[in-house]
Amino acid sequence: MRIFYTKTAFAAIKEHPIAGVGLGQFSAFQEPFIKARGLHAWANQPVHNMYMLLASEAGVPALFFFFWFLFSMGQVALRGKSRIAAIRDSLFLFAIFMIASFDHFFLTFHQGGLIFWFSLAFFVYTANKDKAFFSEKAKISI
């Protein structure tokens, strides 16, 4: 089924490369493909790849903007950290991005979106620890 979803996503990208089929409309776009193959209604699911889903629903420019944003946030998140902290955070972010390659969880489920965006925000926040609330200047001495 994953191959079928991927082929359908490529068809959506090919047919609507700039604006996509519309946010949340991939399943509606896929419905004729499902009926043509004689599949059950439960088979109408989003493509199991967050990046393909974003490109098919919002268009290729949105995917490029999303990658640019993630790359920029990654640079900010890793700047100024010790080598061990940077390696640890890079591995965690790599795991998040790999999971996004195999599922649409971070884009289509509320809990997945919270995990994705709060993880990214946490790494950016910890990169700016000298400005953070718990910096040495903000600590109360006892």
Q: In this structure, what token pair is assigned to residue 67?
A: 């990658």
CB-based contact 51:98 (threshold 8 Å): no
| Selection from 36-50, 59-73, 76-90, 124-138 with the highest mean pLDDT | 59-73
Model-level pTM greater than 0.85? Answer: no
The string of DSSP codes covering 1-66 is -HHHHHHHHHHHHHHSTTT-S-TT-HHHHHHHHHHHHT--GGG----S-HHHHHHHHH-HHHHHHH
pLDDT in tens, 70-120: 888 888 777 777 788 888 888 888 888 899 899 888 888 899 999 989 988
Amino acid identity at 107: L
